[in-house]
Structure 1
Amino acid sequence: MGDKALAGAARRAGAALDAESLAERNRRAVASRRISVRPAADGMAWLSILGPVKDIIGAHVALTAEEKRRHVLDPDLPADQWEAAAAAARADTRSKGAWLADRALELLSGRAKDQPQPVDVNLVMTDRVLLPAAFGGKAPTDDVAVIPGWGVIPGADARAHIAALLDQASDMADTPAFVWLRRLFTDPTGRNLVALDSVRRRFEGGLRRFLELRDPTCRVPWCDAPAVQADHTQAHAEGGTTDAANGAGLCQRHNLVKEITGWHVRVQSTGLDGTGSHSVRIMTPTGRVHDSTAPPILGEGWLEPAPDVHLQDLPLPQDPWHGWMPDPPEDWLMDHEELQVA
């Protein structure tokens, strides 16, 4: 008996001995059903569903049955469409697993077959990555885009996805638009997002999304918890404005802690004037001071692009031997000359 068969036999024996306990555990397990998403390597991600076994197996069987029919032509098709349908079936070279994954995602997101994903994904890319033709037709060396909180994808994939969305939108002119191109403006270095102003007291809408992108984790330096709340650095009651400069993403705990007597937080740099990233200074009740700087919008490890430099702007090369050894003292020269004369 193998390990799998042995485990099954043990479960059956346990169920026979205590059926009531098994039923109670099953009821608790059903109440814990959920869905989760976690990043994977190379621009991929896992989507997991935990649910009753009968429902999960039923969904898998339905998908598998549809996959088996994908190369079977509909007998009710008109004769003039058979050739095109057969050509489309032959052109679909996806593996079984790839087809099942594509179809499951289409069904879950409500898309038609082969329709690009219309959900507003915050895809961050520089102007050089999005429009390489405008910069000499060549993509930059750092040809990547970023989905904040998930990771890096190739710039070519990002451009292809946007192009597919635009093509689909042009073919569906009579339907509600489903293409959102959100420009996330950066400063000249490409490191920092600029601000969105708001006359409201609460951080909502585009301003809230902006802070979520700029501050993916809590801005307290020693805390890596997700930034689930957006709040004023300088309190609104004390004259603080509701904008990106005075806003910060914080975890729930530290958003409450900063309101305790003895804690002081102020904005050091707005990140808007070209002098650096958005920065706040935190002083604790014990007098310790901590500076918190917003991370690069393209993620830690991103290198700022080198500036465009023309050859005529480069300085002339110096003598390669210049400065490698100090000049000898004058008395050494005098002694050396006397030695030569002698």
Structure 2
Amino acid sequence: MAWLSILGPVKDVIGAHVALTAEEKRRHVLDPDLPAQEWEAAAAAARADTRSRGAWLADRALELLSGRAKDQPQPVEVNLVMTDRVLLPAAFGGKAPADDVAVIPGWGVIPGADARAHIAALLDRAGDRASDAAADIGSGRDADGASDAAAFVWLRRLFTDPTGRNLVALDSVRRRFEGGLRRFLELRDPTCRVPWCDAPATQSDHARSHANGGPTDASNGQGLCQRHNLVKELNGWHVRVQSTGLDSTGAHGIRIQTPTGRIHDSTAPPILGEGWLEPVPDVHLQDLPLANDPWHGWIPDPPEDWLTRDELQVA
């Protein structure tokens, strides 16, 4: 669940709330002029709607804001960032990793079990829609509705490397960063890559310019704000890729040299957030070798001025 708040002029906000509550009051009032068959169907639908007033208001407000028709699914793309161990724990001995979490960019961390449940539910729904579409085709009915419904929800799974630190890459032969490659850069570089600039990265740029032979791929791409994307084209500015983020050299890194000769290094932030820590190996305590502790089993002698139990009883 998530919150959605709107701050606006008083008359507009109150007017929207009044219109919404007025519609809610009419939801169980049926039109007496409806034909008998339609009236019975509407009455059955009203009896089946057991939502509370608040739940109905929230659902109706979201329908109006999204422009959807009643009961129409919400077309949405969800980016779910996870490691292979979080997605498929059975392939790694059936045990979930210590950091069993996934990340929805723009929202935050969710438990790995919830991420797997979301994927399983989408796969189940996709299978049901495929079966329905096949049945429609076999019976001669129009299957467009089933095929359209299957396209309403997209779950884009973005896998990290085994450490969970960096995203994998995408390649492109185009000059511009578009499609999946652009989304990749937006997820990897949410803010401008120039050090100390925390502005949102609104433009995808070539670290090594395309005119100088720079490829259009994830390793040569960087997210920049509009200002620094223009500034780097001025004389005296030089940018080069230090680390592609695709091998053991570490996260994606670039080096920026200013016209004054100063050098600044920039590293892509952890995809799982700034508080990310590299996962520890799954090692059980009983599997660890015991160290030769020379003090093991040693009990210090009590001080000479301590009283024994008999002396305490006498005292």
TM-score (norm. length: structure 2): 0.73
Aligned residue in 2 for 1:63: 20
- How far apart are the structure 2 equivalents of 1:113 and 1:131? 37
> Is residue 122 of structure 1 aligned with residue 96 of structure 2?
no
The Cα shift of 1:104 comes to: 1.1
What root-mean-square deviation, in Å, do the aligned CA atoms of Structure 1 and Structure 2 show? Answer: 3.3
- How far apart are the structure 2 equivalents of 1:215 and 1:236? 20
* 8 A Cα contact 2:204 2:224, kept in partner: yes
Aligned residue in 2 for 1:270: 244
Relative to structure 1, the CA distance from residue 156 to residue 109 in structure 2 (aligned partners, 3 Å threshold; closer, same or farther) is farther
The Cα shift of 1:66 comes to: 3.1
> Is residue 190 of structure 1 aligned with residue 164 of structure 2?
yes
Aligned residue in 2 for 1:317: 290
Which string of whole-angstrom CA distances, capped at 9 and with x for unpartnered residues, describes residues 272-310 of structure 1?
Answer: 113311001111122221111101111110222222336
Structure 1, 204-213 or 168-177: larger mean CA deviation: 168-177
Which string of whole-angstrom CA distances, capped at 9 and with x for unpartnered residues, describes residues 315-336 of structure 1?
Answer: 52221238xxxxxxxxxxxxxx
The Cα shift of 1:190 comes to: 1.3
> Is residue 48 of structure 1 aligned with residue 21 of structure 2?
no
Equivalent of 1:231 in 205, 211, 229: 205
Structure 2 residue runs of 5 or longer lacking an equivalent are 134-145, 296-315
- How far apart are the structure 2 equivalents of 1:164 and 1:245? 34
Structure 1 residue runs of 5 or longer lacking an equivalent are 1-42, 323-342
The Cα shift of 1:123 comes to: 2.7
* 8 A Cα contact 1:144 1:153, kept in partner: yes
Matched residue count = 274
Aligned residue in 2 for 1:10: none
Report matched runs for 1:58-207 at 5 Å.
Answer: 58-70=15-27, 86=47, 88-90=48-50, 92=51, 94=52, 96-111=53-68, 117-131=74-88, 140-155=97-112, 157-159=114-116, 161-163=118-120, 165-166=122-123, 168-169=125-126, 170-171=128-129, 173=133, 174-176=146-148, 177-207=151-181
- How far apart are the structure 1 equivalents of 2:71 and 2:100? 26
Relative to structure 1, the CA distance from residue 70 to residue 81 in structure 2 (aligned partners, 3 Å threshold; closer, same or farther) is closer
The Cα shift of 1:311 comes to: 7.0
Identity across matched positions, percent: 77
Aligned residue in 1 for 2:215: 241
Aligned residue in 1 for 2:313: none
Relative to structure 1, the CA distance from residue 122 to residue 229 in structure 2 (aligned partners, 3 Å threshold; closer, same or farther) is same
The Cα shift of 1:101 comes to: 2.0
The Cα shift of 1:189 comes to: 0.7
Aligned residue in 2 for 1:17: none
TM-score (norm. length: structure 1): 0.68
Structure 1, 195-204 or 176-185: larger mean CA deviation: 176-185
* 8 A Cα contact 1:148 1:216, kept in partner: no
Structure 1, 120-129 or 152-161: larger mean CA deviation: 152-161
Relative to structure 1, the CA distance from residue 78 to residue 103 in structure 2 (aligned partners, 3 Å threshold; closer, same or farther) is closer
The Cα shift of 1:81 comes to: 9.3
The Cα shift of 1:258 comes to: 1.3
Amino acid at match of 1:44: A
Aligned residue in 2 for 1:11: none
